[in-house]
Structures are given as structure tokens and as C-alpha cells.
Amino acid sequence: MKDLYFDSIVIGGGAAGMAAALELAASGFSCAIVEREDGLGGILTQCIHNGFGLIEFNEELTGPEFAERIEEKLAGTGITTFTGATVMEMDARSEQKTMFCYSARWGVLRLSSRAIILAMGCRERNRGNIRIPGDRPAGVYTAGLAQRLVNIEGFVPGKDIVIIGSGDIGLIMARRMSWVGCKVHAVVEILPYPSGLTRNIVQCLHDFGIPLYLSHLTTRIIGKGRVEGVEVSPIENGALQPEKAFTIPCDTVLLSVGLIPENELSRTAGVELNPMTGGPMVDSMLMTNVPGVFACGNVLHVHDLVDYVVEESRRAGAFAAGWLRGMRPGKEARIKAGANVRYTAPVRVDLQSGAKIYLRTLIVKNDAVLDMKVNNRVVKSLRKTHIQPSEMIALELSPQDLHEVLDAPDPVLEISIA
Ligand SMILES: Cc1cc2nc3c(=O)[nH]c(=O)nc-3n(C[C@H](O)[C@H](O)[C@H](O)COP(=O)(O)OP(=O)(O)OC[C@H]3O[C@@H](n4cnc5c(N)ncnc54)[C@H](O)[C@@H]3O)c2cc1C
């Protein structure tokens, strides 16, 4: 067994892990990235469509190009990468933390460090998670798995496709399956509005004439050996209308019904999770309740754009470096998700240094007003021309915004949308 020590270890070598590791190395700390796949880049490597990097690089890149741009920066930094190595266990209770990694190349690795960054990304919800009635025929895939099959393995899983859920991966796959010669008959969405980004609705559905059934529930998957169709019923005024059910024939169903942060490892290490996101609860330093363990990227909360993943992960890396130098959070206010706010990340803000906060709304609205109040006193308001649940909202609070509430007892920052 190899036994190695680093100042910091990053679990996951996607965009988040690489960005965080670069910050740690730039601050002079030794750092290792452990990645279970054979290469770095994470989910980006299978996203061969463009649309990445408009904020980070001011250019429209494909997923692999974006990953390559970041990976190139690792050269000469001294960051050690263990690819094809999976972290199976982690003990983070003491100052010196230990993890065990299994790898075909090195066997068992025992790695120790004072700081750990969780950057394990997320996984897809599947048929079991949403319990669609019907038989168990072949031909039901999650959209991300289908993407991997088509883009990396060179295998097209069917010809006549129905996509359940209008998340971004499903929308991207509607276009991708059309490009490889399949007929995409419909995207079926239970909600009255799409779950994916507007640009993907336009570019992946409208441009290809693919119908989107909003407020429709898939009530059955039909077929014994192989999928033969899906039964779909409309929802009107909140009530299912089974008498108006209709069947869409198809041989393949792709599920795009949400992503779940990958936190089994975090849970076993005693990291407290936020029931709204499935990711860790983090303080103003993006640190979990376990001292020295930080989280960023999709393992923290599912992001819409990789540019925001990178921005947040850089901050996580810089905070971890600060923590290694002895920096600790100052006086913090707990953040409360108020009216029409689904969640915020982080869940605490440092009143002296301000904060960057990402949040998701529960509503679709034009001309929305976001209010930030500390103990009922408005510290900042923001107007947004349009908001929707599929698009993350970024807020910044400066120390000036907060200085008048610095002495407030038990401060609570409530963010609400009207
Ligand atoms: C289909 C699809 C389309 C998208 N389209 C766009 C787009 O057009 N524009 C855009 O900006 N963004 C897009 N995104 C979002 C963006 O790509 C992701 O948010 C971002 O790449 C996530 O980065 P991450 O590092 O947090 O996670 P990941 O890329 O998932 O990386 C996590 C890594 O951790 C590794 N890992 C997990 N557990 C362990 C373990 N125990 N041990 C070792 N390694 C482990 C995994 O193997 C993985 O490589 C898209 C995402 C998807 C899925």
C-alpha cells in the first residue's frame, strides 16, 4: 500500500476539482487530485456540444475543449493527479485526515492531508427515483448515459425516442439523437414550465420541430421485451386527466428528471447535507460542518453553467488555502431561504467580508425583486428582468452592504423574491 501526505486533497477531477486544486497550488500548498475515471474533465468529456465557457473564456467552446483549457493550466503547478483511482473511505474527524483509494494501477493508496475538497459532481435520477408504472422493458436509459453511449462509445440506443423531463441533458440529447438520424417524438414535462435553460429549448427543440408537452405526466411505460410506447396524461388545474391520456409510440425512453449531488462519501465522513440540494451545508468559507472539509461544484448544488462551477471552486480552493494558513470565518449570519427561494449556497455569510451567494428560485417571473434583509432590515435589493427555476441567480454582498448590521444579535439574512 502506498502511503502519501499532501497539504490538501481534492476528490474528483472535473471542472470543479481542477479549478480548486489550481488555487491551492497557486497559494503554495501541495495538492493531489483523485479521479476515478482514467482522465480528468468529469462530465465535460462527454458533452461534445458547444455552449461552454462564454463567461470564463469569453468564447463558445465544447465541453472537452473547456476541460482541456483548464487541464492545460495544471502543467508545471506540481499538482499530483491520481486518475483511475476511486476514493472509497474517508476519515476527516481529526486535523490530519485520511482517505483510502482503490486503483487498478496503484492498488490501495492511503492519502493524508489537512484539507479536503469534495468535488465529486452529481449523478442522474433514474426510473426508480420517479416510479413510472409499467413493465420493465429494455430501452429505458437516463439521458446522460445515452449521451455517453452515443458520444463516447459510438452506440445509438434506439430509433424512435421519447424524452421524459425537460432538463438540460434531455434537451441536448433531443438534438443529438435527431442529428444521429433518430426521430424524437416528444419531450414530456410534468411542470407547467421547462426545467432546462431557455437557450436549450430554442436550439434543441424549436429548431428541430420537437414537441414539448408541458403539464403532462408519463403514466405508463408500455412494452414487454422492448419499449413500445409511453402513455401520457395532461394535468389541468393541478389535477391529472386520465380520460385524456394518449400514447406516443417509441422504442426508446430517455429520462432527464434531475440530478443528485454525489454525497455517499460525504455522508459517511459525517458531513451534514442540505435536504433542499442534497449537497453539503457550507459556511461562508464553503467549508462543511467537518473542519477542513470544503465542497464546490455539482457535489455542493447542481449548477446550470460550468463557468459558475469554476468560479465557485476557485473560491473553495482559496478558502481552503486560507484555512491551511489559519484563517477562520468571522461573525456570520445564517442565510434563510425566504419567499420563493428554493435554496442558497452557502447557508452562512461572513458579515465582515461579504459573500457571493448562488440561489435557485421556485417561480417563473418577469420583473422580479430580490430582497436581502438582516433581522428584518433591508441591506440590499436587486431587480431581475426574468427569473426561472432552471437558471441560477448569483448575488453579491459587499462588506459595505453589511456593515450597519455587524453588531446585530443572532443575525439572520433572509433572501426573498417578489
Ligand atoms: C449533459 C450536460 C450538458 C451540459 N451542458 C452545459 C452547457 O452547455 N454549458 C455549461 O456551461 N454547462 C453545461 N453543463 C454543466 C457542466 O458541465 C457541469 O456543471 C460541470 O462540468 C460539473 O463539474 P463538476 O466538477 O462539479 O462535476 P463532474 O464533471 O461530474 O466531476 C466530478 C468528478 O468526480 C469524480 N468522482 C466522483 N466520485 C469519486 C470518488 N469517490 N473518487 C474519485 N473520483 C470521484 C467523477 O468521476 C467525476 O469525474 C452540462 C452538464 C451536462 C451533464
Distance CA 221, CA 230 (A): 5
- Which is it for strands 115-118 and 293-295: parallel, antiparallel or unpaired? parallel
H or E segment at 21?
helix 15-26
Bridge-based pairing state of the strands 229-236 and 216-222: antiparallel
% of the chain at pLDDT higher than 70: 100
Average pLDDT rounded to a whole number, residues 141-156: 97
Inform me whether the pLDDT recorded for 404 exceeds 90. Answer: no
Question: Residue 70: CB within 6 Å of ligand 1?
Answer: no
* Ligand 1 atom 52, closest CA: 169
| 252-255 and 140-142 strand pairing | parallel
Report helix, strand or coil for 328.
Answer: coil
Q: How remote is the CA of residue 101 from the centroid of ligand 1, in Å?
A: 20
Residue partners of 157: CB distance under 8 A and separation at least 6: 139, 141, 146, 149, 150, 252
Are residues 102 and 61 part of one domain?
yes
For the Cβ of 43 lying below 6 angstroms from any atom of ligand 1, the answer is yes
Verify whether ligand 1 is closer than 6 Å to residue 312 (CB atom). no
- The residue to mutate among 118, 173, 302, 306, having the most atoms of ligand 1 within 8 angstroms of its beta carbon, is 306
Residue 11 in contact with ligand 1 by CB distance below 6 A? yes
| Whether residue 172 is found in the same domain as residue 276 | no
Looking at the structure, tell me whether residues 403 and 308 fall in a common domain: no
Residue 366 belongs to a domain with what CATH number? 2.60.40
Residue having the nearest C-alpha atom to atom 16 of ligand 1:
306
Please compute Rg for the chain using Cα positions. 22
Instruction: Read off the pLDDT band of 275 (50, 70, 90).
Output: very high
Candidate from 33, 45, 47 with most ligand 1 atoms within 8 A of CB, to mutate: 47
Q: Is the CB of 15 under 6 A from ligand 1?
A: yes
Q: Is the CB of 265 under 6 A from ligand 1?
A: yes
Q: Which of 274, 299, 329 is the C-terminal boundary of a domain?
A: 329
The mean pLDDT of the chain is 95
pLDDT at 387: 95
Domain boundary among 257, 277, 312: 257
10 Å CB burial of residue 78 (0-12, 13-18, 19+) is: exposed
Cβ pair 21, 119 in contact under 8 A: no
388 and 402 in a single domain? The answer is yes
Whether residue 85 is found in the same domain as residue 32: yes
1 with 96, same domain: the answer is: yes
pLDDT at residue 134 is higher than 90: no
| Amino acid (one-letter) located at 390 | S
- Please give the number of the atom of ligand 1 that sits closest to the Cα of 53: 11
For the CA of 12, the closest atom of ligand 1 is 34
Looking at the 3D structure of the chain, how many domains does it have?
3
Phi/psi of residue 353, nearest 5 degrees:
-105, -5
pLDDT, position 321: 98
24-56: pLDDT as tens digits: 999 999 999 999 999 999 999 999 999 899 999
Atom of ligand 1 nearest to the CA of 259: 53
Judge if the beta carbon of residue 82 lies within 6 A of ligand 1: no
How many Cβ atoms from other residues are within 10 Å of residue 405's Cβ?
16
- pLDDT at position 405 is 83
Q: Are residue 116 and residue 168 in the same domain, yes or no?
A: no
Choose one of 279, 312, 329: the last residue of a domain. 329
Same domain, 207 and 304: no
Is the CB of residue 374 below 6 angstroms from any atom belonging to ligand 1?
no
Tell me the average pLDDT across 254-271.
95
Q: Is the CB of 307 under 6 A from ligand 1?
A: yes
Q: Is 173 in the pocket of ligand 1 (CB under 6 A)?
A: no
Query: Quick check: CB of 301 below 6 Å from ligand 1?
Result: no
Amino acid letter, residue 263: N
Q: Are residues 353 and 381 in the same domain?
A: yes
Distance 333 CA to ligand 1 centre (A): 30
Average pLDDT over residues 85-90: 97
The predicted model gives 252-270 an average pLDDT of 96
Q: How confident is the model at residue 376 (pLDDT cuts 50, 70, 90)?
A: confident
The pTM for the full model equals 0.95
Q: In this structure, what CATH number is given to the domain that contains residue 163?
A: 3.50.50.60
Express as a percent the part of the chain with pLDDT over 90: 89
Domain boundaries, position 395? 331-418
Lowest mean pLDDT among 106-110, 139-143, 235-239, 351-355: 351-355
Ligand 1 pocket member 146 (CB < 6 A)? no
Query: Best mutation site among 86, 120, 271, 392 for ligand 1, i.e. most ligand atoms within 8 A of its Cβ?
Result: 120
Claim to verify: residue 314 and residue 378 sit in the same structural domain: no
pLDDT at 1: 86
Same domain, 70 and 178: no
Question: 81 and 96 in contact (C-beta within 8 Å)?
Answer: no
d(C-alpha 380, C-alpha 374), whole Å: 10
Q: What is the pLDDT of residues 156-186, one digit of tens each?
A: 999 999 999 999 999 999 999 999 999 999 9
Closest residue by Cα to atom 12, ligand 1, is: 305
For the segment 69-86, what is each residue's pLDDT rounded down to a tens digit? 999 999 999 999 999 999
**According to the model, what pLDDT value does residue 197 have?**
87
**Mean pLDDT score, 321-326:** 98
- Looking at the structure, tell me whether residues 16 and 105 fall in a common domain: yes
Residue 327, pLDDT > 90, answer yes
Q: Residue 135: pLDDT band by 50, 70, 90 thresholds?
A: confident
pLDDT at 347: 96
